[in-house]
């Protein structure tokens, strides 16, 4: 018993000795320095195309960043909450995958020397059939990003992906808002 008490006292003494010699700073009481810091990601406002009266309508929404993946995520997320007389053709569709690849234009096409980063975006969309208006929303929203030169969309099913088809916003200019225009 004496041996146990002796060991406990020795351990306590050693702990106090180490604590007092550890850093040379005398402990203080609690100091109130205001609220704790909080990290909050401020969303970025981006433009996407929703529908108003059957036409594409540019709409500002919050996205995680202006990167094309986040812009397209915001487009598909907006399909669940249209408002202000806005609707969408993306209901029932899910963005399964987005791939960004370097754009390699055909030998006969013109290169833009001012744009050093040129990308092709490949989208795999699952769900119901992708109608023309849904393709217009996806294509024209992606083409708002200056680095995107081409948009390819494929319908993805659980067992296989459909063929990738290249789209430009020009093929949907008949869906432009009145007194408005769409990207190329």
The lowest-confidence range among 8-22, 73-87, 170-184 is: 8-22
Query: Which one, of 57, 46, 45, 47, lies nearest residue 172 by Cα?
Result: 57
Residue 148 lies in a domain: yes
- pLDDT tens column, 112-141: 555 456 789 999 999 888 899 999 999 999
Residue 22 lies in a domain: no
Residue 9 lies in a domain: no
Q: Number of folded domains in the chain?
A: 1
Confidence band of 7 (pLDDT split at 50, 70, 90): confident
Q: What's the rounded mean pLDDT across residues 50-55?
A: 92
Q: What is the pLDDT of residue 43?
A: 78
Beta bridge mates, 41: none
Confidence band of 16 (pLDDT split at 50, 70, 90): low
Range of the structural domain that residue 57 is part of: 44-175
Residue 162 lies in a domain: yes
In the chain, at which residue ranges do the beta strands (DSSP E only) sit?
44-52, 55-63, 93-102, 119-127, 148-156, 165-167
Residue 2 lies in a domain: no
* Global model pTM greater than 0.75: no
CA quadruple 174, 98, 101, 48: dihedral sign: positive
Q: What is the pLDDT of residue 115?
A: 47
Residue 50 lies in a domain: yes
């Amino acid at each position: 018993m004496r041996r146990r008490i002796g060991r406990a006292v020795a351990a306590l003494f050693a702990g106090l000795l180490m604590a007092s010699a550890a850093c040379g700073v005398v402990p203080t009481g609690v100091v109130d320095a205001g609220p704790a810091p909080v990290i909050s990601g401020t969303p970025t406002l981006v433009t996407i195309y929703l529908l108003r009266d059957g036409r594409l309508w540019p709409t500002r929404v919050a996205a995680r960043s202006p990167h094309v993946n986040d812009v397209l995520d915001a487009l598909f997320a907006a399909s669940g909450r249209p408002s202000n007389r806005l609707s969408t053709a993306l209901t029932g569709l899910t963005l399964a995958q987005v791939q960004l690849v370097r754009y390699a234009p055909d030998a006969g096409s013109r290169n833009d020397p001012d744009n050093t980063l040129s990308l092709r975006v490949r989208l795999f969309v699952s769900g119901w059939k992708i109608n023309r208006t849904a393709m217009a929303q996806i294509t024209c929203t992606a083409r708002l990003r200056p680095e995107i030169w081409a948009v390819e969309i494929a319908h993805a099913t659980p067992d296989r992906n459909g063929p990738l088809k290249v789209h430009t916003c020009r093929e949907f200019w008949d869906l432009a808002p009145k007194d408005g225009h769409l990207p190329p």
